[in-house]
Structure 1
Amino acid sequence: MTRALPAAGERAPASSARALAAQVAALDWASIAAQLDAYGCATTGRLLTSPQCVGLAETYASDTLFRSRVVMARHGFGRGEYKYFAYPLPELVAALRGALYPPLADIANRWNESMAVGLRFPRDHATYLARC
C-alpha cells in the first residue's frame, strides 16, 4: 500500500497543507456555527481522502509517534483506548488543527461575548499555543 503520510520527521508537501486549508475555509461555517449553537456539535462533511484516513489509522501501531496511551476502563471511561500524538504532530494533523482553529476560535469568542466572559481566543493557532 502507498504511504498516505510522510514518515516520522518528514514533511508533507506544502501544497497538501494549502489544499486542506482551502477546503476548510470553503466549509459552510455559518451552518457549522448554527449547528454548534443549537446542538453543541456539528459535522463538516468529508475533509480527508480515504488514503489519508488509512494513513492516519496505520500510525496507531507506532508507539514512537505518540506521547501517551490511555486505557479507558482504567479510568472508568468505558472500553477501548486512545493515544495522544507526540510533537511534532504528523503534518496532516497539524494542517487540520491550524486550518480549523481560526473559524472555531471565532465561534468560541462569540460564545464568550454572549456570556459576558472577557477571555478571547487569539485569531491564529500559533498565538494560542504560545499563550498556553
Structure 2
Amino acid sequence: MNDLTTPTAPAALASRVAAQDWDALTEELDAHGSALTGPLLTPAQCREISGLYEDTARFRSTVDMARHRFGSGQYRYFTHELPETVAALRAAFYPCLLPVARRWAERLGRPAPWPDALEEWLEQCHEAGQPRSAQILLRYGPGDWNALHRDVFGEMLFPLQVVVGLDVPGTDYTGGEFLMTEQRARAQSRGSSTTLPQGHALVFTTRDRPVASRRGWANGPMRHGVSTVRSGRRHTLGLVFHEAA
C-alpha cells in the first residue's frame, strides 16, 4: 500500500528524497534559485493530503489572501501535530538541503546557525520567539493567485523551502504556475515560471541566492508567487524549515 497510513511510509519517503540527484538539484539551485525534483508522493498520498483541507482541527489558522492583499485564495497553517507524511517529508529534506544552506551562507559571509538535527534547529526557533508551525496547505480556485513575496517570519531563517504539487496540472486545474523573480544588480529583474507535476517538489530560495560577481559573491534577492488559476482547483503543500513568530 502507498497511502498515508502505511507504517513504512516515513522510511520510504526518506529513501525517495535521499535518492534524488542532489548534485544536479544543487547545480540548479545555484544557477536559478530553484530546482524541481522527481516524483516523491503517489497520487493517493497527494489526494489524502489535499483532502485534509476541510479538517480544520489540523490547522492553527486560516489566511484569506484577498483580505490581506496577498492575492486571492486561501491557505492554512498546520498545527505542530503534522500528518505523518508531511512530517516525514520535511525531516527527509532537511539534511539534503543543509549542505546547500551552509555553502550559500559561506559565500555571502553570513552565519550558518543550522545544526545537523532539524529538531534542534526548531528548538532554537522557539527559544528565539518563533514558536508557531509554518507548514502550510494552500488552495486556489478559478481567478485565485498569490502575490510575489518571501516567507520570512523573523530573525531565525532557513534559506531554502519546498512546495509540493498535489493536483494534476492541465487536468485538475489550468494556469497556477509557480513564479519566481530575481532582482539583478543594475539591471531589470528576471522572472521564471514552473508547472508543478503532481507529487513532485520544487526546492527554492526563501530570500535570495549567491550570485557570482567581479568582487566575489553578492546576494540575488528573489521572491515567489503563483500565477492566476484559470480553471479548476489547485492544492499545494508548503514545507518551511523555520518556525513563525
Q: TM-score range by the shorter chain?
A: 0.7 to 0.9
Matched pairs, number:
125
| Partner of residue 105, structure 1 | 98
Query: Match for 1:49: what amino acid?
Result: T
Partner Cα distance (1:57, 1:112) in 2: 34
Given that residues 67 and 83 in structure 1 are in contact (C-alpha distance below 8 angstroms), is that contact kept between their aligned partners in structure 2? yes
Deviation at 1:24, TM superposition (A): 0.7
Partner Cα distance (1:124, 1:36) in 2: 22
Unaligned runs of 5+ in 1: 7-11
Deviation at 1:109, TM superposition (A): 0.6
Given that residues 112 and 120 in structure 1 are in contact (C-alpha distance below 8 angstroms), is that contact kept between their aligned partners in structure 2? no
1:66-105 → structure 2 map (5 Å cutoff): 66-105=59-98
| Partner of residue 197, structure 2 | none
Q: CA RMSD in A?
A: 1.7
TM-score between the two structures when normalised by the length of structure 1: 0.88
Partner Cα distance (2:106, 2:113) in 1: 8
Deviation at 1:124, TM superposition (A): 2.0
Partner Cα distance (1:127, 1:73) in 2: 36
| Partner of residue 9, structure 1 | none
Deviation at 1:122, TM superposition (A): 1.3
Higher fraction of helix: 1
TM-score between the two structures when normalised by the length of structure 2: 0.49
Runs of 4+ with deviation above 4 angstroms: none
Partner Cα distance (2:29, 2:76) in 1: 26
Query: Match for 2:90: what amino acid?
Result: R
* 1:44 partner SS: strand
Deviation at 1:120, TM superposition (A): 3.3
| Partner of residue 5, structure 1 | 4
Query: Match for 1:111: what amino acid?
Result: W
| Partner of residue 34, structure 2 | 41
Percent same amino acid among aligned pairs?
Answer: 46
Q: Does 2:62 align with 1:62?
A: no
Unaligned runs of 5+ in 2: 126-245
